[in-house]
């Protein structure tokens, strides 16, 4: 499967259209941020693991808000793009901004898929498939442990001073 339309890896721009610094983090920065992760979060985000289906804490979350990268805090998906896919993992039709994610060919386990990673920290988020509902026809299938949810009205996580202060 080729990369779905609209999911091309962003250019080397330092700032996304929404004002977030999306330059790749140095290994030392990723290591520092990873100190706060649980063993399962580390396995999924840093070692490209997958959590078991139907057990993620955000699977059944119906609240309005933003889903950000658990490692670096970059906003990734809005609750309005979330849908019930029946797969056992939180699924979305589109990211907050295409330049906040990177798509990488994944040929592990004898399959050919498109892995999605956080553009800033390269944390493994999940995979994107071309079997989603309108408007995009895409299904961004994510690991709950890769995400941090912020309800509408609360401030998004700010792990970097260059990130704009924004409520969800």
Active site residue 72: no
> Rg for the chain (alpha carbons), in Å?
15
Q: How far apart are CA 73 and CA 107, in angstroms?
A: 28
Residue partners of 18: CB distance under 8 A and separation at least 6: 75, 96, 97, 100, 164
| From 69, 103, 121, 141, the catalytic residue | 141
Other Cβ atoms closer than 10 A to 154: 12
The string of DSSP letters for 49-97 reads --PPTT--TTTT---SEEEEETTT--EEEEGGGEE--SSSS-EESS-S-
Q: Which residues are catalytic?
A: 141
């Amino acid at each position: 499967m080729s990369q779905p339309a609209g999911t091309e890896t962003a250019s080397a721009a330092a700032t996304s259209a929404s004002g977030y610094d999306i330059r790749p983090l140095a290994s030392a920065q990723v290591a520092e941020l990873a100190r706060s992760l649980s063993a399962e979060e580390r396995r999924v985000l840093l070692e490209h693991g997958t959590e078991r289906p139907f057990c993620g804490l955000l699977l059944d979350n119906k609240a309005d808000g933003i889903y950000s990268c658990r490692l670096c805090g970059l906003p990734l998906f809005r609750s309005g793009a979330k849908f019930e896919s029946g797969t056992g993992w939180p699924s979305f039709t589109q990211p907050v901004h295409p330049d906040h994610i990177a798509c990488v060919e994944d040929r592990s386990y004898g399959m050919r898929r498109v892995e999605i990673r956080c553009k800033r920290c390269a944390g493994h988020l999940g995979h994107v498939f071309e079997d989603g509902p309108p408007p995009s026809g895409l299904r961004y299938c994510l690991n709950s442990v890769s995400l941090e949810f912020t309800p509408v009205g609360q401030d998004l996580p700010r792990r970097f001073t260059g990130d704009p202060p924004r409520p969800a």
